[in-house]
Amino acid sequence: MPETILEIDALDSFYGDFQALFGVSMQVGKGEVVSVIGANGAGKSTLMRSVTGLLTNRPDMVRFGDAQIGALRADQIARLGIAMVPEGRQLFPSLSVEENLIIGSQVGRPGDWSLSAVYALFPVLAERRNQASTSLSGGQQQMVAIGRALMSNPDLLLFDEISLGLAPIIIKNIYEALPDVIGTGMSAIVVEQDITRAVEISDRVYCLQEGRVSLEGKSGEVSRDAISKAYFGV
Ligand SMILES: Nc1ncnc2c1ncn2[C@@H]1O[C@H](COP(=O)(O)OP(=O)(O)OP(=O)(O)O)[C@@H](O)[C@H]1O
Ligand SMILES: [Mg+2]
C-alpha cells in the first residue's frame, strides 16, 4: 500500500435534511487509481462533491495529505491539488475550447500540464481551440472537461462517469488516454457504472450501495459475483 494521499473517514453527507452518505470510509494511495461503482442514486457523485468541497462536512471527515479539508470551499480544495471532471462536463457554453481549458489553470498550480500538453494528448482540441465548446461532439466536450481538470496540475483527479452518453469508440479512446494522464504519479478516483471497465482500469475498487460502502478490495482479487451482490444488493 503506497502512502495515503486521501483519507475519507466515516463521512456522512447531507442535502438539507436528506442524508445521502452514511459513514463512508475510503483511502487513496499516492499514484493509485481507485474506482467507485454503484447503481443510480448510490451516492457516487455525492462522494465526489464531498471531496471537492461542493458539499461541506466536518473538517476531519476528509483529509488530503496533512490537511483536513472536509469543511473547505471548492476553490480552496482546488488550490491544494484536487480536480474533478464532473458528471455532465459542465463547460462554459459561451467560451471557446481554449478559454474553457485556461479556466483550469487559474487555480495557479505549477506543473507539466499546459495548453500544449493538453493539445498533445487530445489533438482534435487544438484544431477546435477557437470554437465554442458547445459546437463540439459529446466526446470532444469530455476531452475539454478532462483537459480543464489537468490544467490545474492536480495531485488527485476525480472522474465522475466520463463515459456517460458517449459512443463506445469514443469511450475507448478516452480510456486509452487515461494511463498517459495518470501515469505521472497522479492519483485518481474513477466513478464508473461499467463494472468490467472499472475493474480493468483501477488498482482497487469500492462499491457503494444506498450511501454505504458495500464492498472494497483489490481489483484483481474481488470476484464478479461479490461485485454484483454489492452493486445490486441481491
Ligand atoms: N442536489 C440534491 N438535492 C437533494 N438530493 C440529492 C441531490 N443530489 C443527489 N441527491 C440524492 O442523493 C442520493 C445520491 O445521489 P448521487 O447523485 O450521489 O448518486 P449517484 O450514485 O451519483 O447516481 P448516478 O449514477 O445517477 O449519477 C440520491 O438519493 C439522490 O436522489
Ligand atoms: Mg452521479
Report field, pTM of the whole predicted structure over 0.85: yes
Determine the pLDDT at residue 52. Answer: 97
* C-alpha dihedral, 124 to 90 to 100 to 139, nearest 10°: 0
- The structural architecture, per CATH, of the domain 4-232 is 3-Layer(aba) Sandwich (3.40)
Q: What is the pLDDT of residue 83?
A: 97
- Cell reading at 66: 496533512
In this predicted structure, what is the pLDDT of residue 234? 65
Torsion angle in degrees (nearest 10) through CA of 52, 153, 35, 198: 130
The amino acid at residue 50 is S
H-state helical runs in 96-201 = 97-105, 115-121, 123-127, 138-150, 168-182, 195-201
Ligand nearest the Cα of residue 86 is 2
Domain boundaries, the chain: 4-232
Q: Distance between CA atoms of 136 and 12, rounded to whole angstroms? A: 38
44 lines ligand 1 (CB under 6 A): yes
The count of residues in the chain is: 234
- The pLDDT of residue 172 is 86
Ligand 2 centroid – CA 86 distance (Å)? 9
pLDDT at 166: 84
Question: pLDDT tens digits, the chain, 234 residues: what are they?
Answer: 679 999 999 999 999 999 999 999 999 999 999 999 999 999 999 999 999 999 999 999 999 999 999 999 999 999 999 999 998 889 998 899 999 999 999 998 999 999 999 999 999 999 999 999 999 999 999 999 999 999 999 999 999 998 888 888 888 888 888 888 887 789 999 999 888 889 999 999 999 999 999 999 999 999 888 888 888 776
Cα–Cα dist 48/21, whole Å: 11
Closest atom of ligand 1 relative to the 47 alpha carbon: 18
15, 21, 194: residue to mutate for ligand 1 pocket, most atoms within 8 A of CB? 15
